[in-house]
Amino acid sequence: MSTEIRGTAHFIQQENIRLQKENERLQQEVIRLRLILRNLGNLNQMALAIQPDTDILGLLDQILQAALDSIQAEDGSLMLVDEETGELSFVVVHGAVRTQLVGHRIPLGAGIAGWVAQKAEAAIVPNVQTDPRFSSGVDQAFHFKTRSLVCVPISYTGRVLGVIQALNKSNRKEFTSADLMMLNVVAQLAAAAIARAESVLLGEE
């Protein structure tokens, strides 16, 4: 067998191995996305079936977890607007500072999350250190390091109820427009759950 033929055969073998690995990766990704969609469907059913005794915080916790799983983020939070004080309150938190951050408040307009809540616009930031909207106050107070984030408003009938933000995508990858779209879907689910809970508690259901 000539050197040229051996080289071609080796190339074909390597390419076949690469394609097999890529196929396996895509199959695993399809399985992961199917599980996420099934989970979101179940959460949607739970949101529609909210009753006065439903654990709303537990449901929001599951919604946040689904959001982070869907875009492979390491940390994240769901914050709600306190209309009386004009603040965002960390209601559900996942990740390294989960226990410390719950209950912490920031003013509307402060930081990227505050900007998203105030403007009712989503934000995707590959490097927070280069974004003038970023405030390091929370990072410093809780000894955390935000590298990148994606944040979307939780809106219902034109009213901003809060925000969902995901921090630090795994493997130090950047968040994508697809991640932003997925987080928007989850935010709509959270908005429906919160609005349903408000109606139930007010006796409108």
Q: What is the CATH number of the domain that holds 69?
A: 3.30.450.40
Angle at 193 between CA 165 and CA 34, to 5 degrees: 70
pLDDT of residue 41: 74
Task: Tell me if 12 sits within 8 A of 19, measured CB to CB.
Answer: no
Identify whether 7 is part of a domain.
Answer: no
| pLDDT surpassing 80 at residue 52 | no
Does 86 reside within a domain?
A: yes
Which residue range is the domain that position 139 belongs to? 31-201
Has residue 5 been placed in a domain? Answer: no
Query: How many domains in the chain?
Result: 1
Task: Write down the pTM of the prediction.
Answer: 0.79
Domain annotation covers residue 46 = yes
Average pLDDT of the segment spanning 20-41: 72
- pLDDT digit string, tens, across residues 143-172: 899 999 999 999 999 899 999 999 998 878
The pLDDT of residue 112: 95
Convert the pLDDT of each residue in 84-130 to its tens digit.
999 999 999 998 888 889 999 999 999 999 999 999 999 999 999 99
Burial of 90 (0-12, 13-18, 19+ CB in 10 A): buried
Q: Is residue 77 part of a domain?
A: yes
The residue assigned the tokens 């005794």 is: 53
Evaluate whether residue 150 is within a structural domain.
yes
- Within-domain flag for 18: no
Residue 205: the pLDDT is 53
Condensed to tens digits (0 to 9), the pLDDT of residues 1-25 reads: 566 666 677 778 887 888 788 777 7
Cβ pair 74, 170 in contact under 8 A: yes
186 assigned to some structural domain: yes
Q: In this model, does residue 201 exceed pLDDT 80?
A: no
